[in-house]
Amino acid sequence: MAKAVLTPQAENFPAWYQDVVARAELAENGPARGTMVIRPWGYAIWELMQADMDRRIKATGAHNAAFPLFIPMSYLEKEKQHVEGFSPELAVVTHGGGEQLAEPLVVRPTSETVINYYFAKWIQSHRDLPLMLNLWNNVVRWELRPRLFLRTTEFLWQEGHTAHVTYEDAVEETRRMLEVYRQFMEELLAISVVVGEKSPGERFAGADQTFTCEALMRDGKALQMGTSHNLGHNFARAFDIRYLDADGERRHAATTSWGTSTRMIGGVIMAHGDDHGLRLPPAIAPHQVVVMQLDEESEVAEAAERIEAELRAAGVRTRLDARTHTSFGRRSVEWELKGVPVRIELGARELASGQATLVRRDNRRKNSVPLNGAARAAASLLGEIQQVLFAESRTFREEHTYPVTDFDEFKQRVGDGGLFLAAWSGTEESEQALREDSSATIRCIVEADPPAPTCLITGMPARHTVLIGRAY
């Protein structure tokens, strides 16, 4: 069988990643710097992710809505930390219709400000709460070092925004959505994640708390897969979101926001991919099974079509590849690159023996199965492959998470990748020193006993246990 021409992961992981994105026809660079064209295979993956996430979000009680792409600059300026945090990333429109605008418009980097403006209009009584909205949209954040799916100037995402009666309700919502994200990432994407709170230096601008799902990629770097923010009363005060409580007192609502994006596709590529291309979890594979017809004989074609029909009837997303004018090797490489979980190979020789060949993408193993049971055998593999990929992701993360108590040792080892479990004092100075001395960051604060009584960075008394690593 011909081999896919990809840069090996061990040789140059970033080049491998770019090769996979291109060769698997997931995305290309857009005409403006930092923009992205998502091709049909990549977008089909996103649609499957979107549909499942949408179902989970609605199950929490949130409703989908749509808000404007353009936001008056004055809206962002209402929350000081928010505008300071986003200022370097803003794209601003100053002219429209051939004239200078009376007020600059920001191209949506996130929607907290415009949504909270309308929350203030819509919320009058405690009976209006909770108010829970979710948006599926695009956002723009000016990116200096773009990389397809991981960091682009424009990307697709969902962003949830909620308002609640009490601060405690907002905390509960923040943690509930973090758990929704964790389950989605582990159950659908088959990626093992660590959940925890972000340090102050990594917190969302304008939030009291930010919680995160962190995953470890196969090159040893961390990837922030999704975040959930407790905004407390900060935006409610800035936008005067107040309600009349049951006793007739006017009180500020407490708000949250939370989001995931097409960055998760990059995570799937880097968590599961190998030197032959993508390995898609069956749950998000546009084609879960491809039936490869190897010969033009009518009997072979009829058998291939019958297997395809059986799989479709069983609810399996199936593609019949009858391109006999294209070589078997080239077609096999194409489906390997695209990460199709299972292939069924069927030609005259298989038909004569009454057997079909099943090929698993996760481990590239082949085995023969009776022709009349090929569809059932292929369908039965999907759940197993999903679980195998998740188990591999979890094992990889666990085997590459190291307790560390000596800062000099940490600085020597961090370049080799992995997550490092360390004690931390919680000071801003120590977090800044970590970045400057190692190019690593605190990925999250975790609920675990500190591996040492003193801070890894400063030697001060430890207050937290953190996971540290270099990240995308």
Tens of pLDDT, residues 427-465:
999 999 999 999 999 999 999 888 999 999 999 999 999
Mean pLDDT of 258-267: 98
Q: Give the whole-angstrom CA distance, residue 96 versus residue 114.
A: 20
Mean pLDDT of 334-363: 97
Q: Give the whole-angstrom CA distance, residue 378 versus residue 283.
A: 14
pLDDT, one tens digit per residue, over 124-149 is 999 999 999 999 999 999 998 999 99
Q: Give the whole-angstrom CA distance, residue 402 versus residue 468.
A: 10
Predicted pLDDT of residue 268: 98
Count of CB atoms within 10 A of residue 78's CB? Answer: 16
Radius of gyration for the alpha carbons in the chain, expressed in angstroms and rounded: 25
Q: Calculate what percentage of the chain has a pLDDT beyond 90.
A: 94
| 236 CA to centre of own chain | 29
More reliable by pLDDT, 87 or 159: 159
Q: Do residues 303 and 347 lie in contact, with contact meaning Cβ atoms separated by under 8 Å?
A: no
- Name beta bridge partners: 235: none
**Residue at token pair 């270099």:** 470
Q: Which of 312, 362, 364, 321 is nearest to 345 (CA)?
A: 321
pLDDT at 1 > cutoff 70 = no
**In the 3-class helix/strand/coil scheme, how is the chain assigned residue by residue?**
CCCCCCCCCCCCHHHHHHHHHHHCCCEEECCCCCCEEECHHHHHHHHHHHHHHHHHHHHCCCEECCCCCEEEHHHHCCCHHHHHHHHHHCCEEEEECCEEEEEEEEECCCCHHHHHHHHHHHCCEHHHCCEEEEEEEEEECCCCCCECCCECCEEEEEEEEEEECCHHHHHHHHHHHHHHHHHHHHHCCCCCEEEEECCHHHCCCCCCEEEEEEEECCCCCEEEEEEEEEEECHHHHHHCCEEECCCCCEEECEEEEEEEECHHHHHHHHHHCECCECCCCHHHCCCCEEEEECCCCHHHHHHHHHHHHHHHHCCCCEEEECCCCCCHHHHHHHHHHHCCCEEEEECHHHHHHCEEEEEECCCCCEEEEEHHHHHHHHHHHHHHHHHHHHHHHHHHHHHCEEECCCHHHHHHHHHHCCEEEEEECCCHHHHHHHHHHHCCEEEEEECCCCCCCECCCCCCECCEEEEEECEC
Predicted pLDDT of residue 242: 98
pLDDT at 112 > cutoff 90 = yes
The C-alpha torsion from 56 through 57 and 63 to 64, rounded to 10°, is: -100
Average pLDDT taken over every residue of the chain = 96
pLDDT, one tens digit per residue, over 226-259 is 999 999 999 999 999 999 999 999 999 999 999 9
User: Nearest-5° angle of CA 62, CA 65, CA 71?
Assistant: 125
User: Nearest-5° angle of CA 53, CA 55, CA 60?
Assistant: 100
Which sign does the torsion angle of CA 200, 206, 211, 213 carry? Answer: negative
- What residues contact residue 75 under an 8 Å CB cut-off, 6+ apart? 106, 113, 114, 117
Q: Give the whole-angstrom CA distance, residue 352 versus residue 335.
A: 25
pTM, 2 dp? 0.96
Burial string for 153-178 (b: 16+ CB within 10 Å, else e) reads bbbbbbbbbbbbbeeebbbebbbbbb
Q: Give the whole-angstrom CA distance, residue 449 versus residue 166.
A: 31
pLDDT at 87 > cutoff 90 = no
Q: Give the whole-angstrom CA distance, residue 34 versus residue 17.
A: 17
Predicted pLDDT of residue 207: 96
- Name beta bridge partners: 137: 157
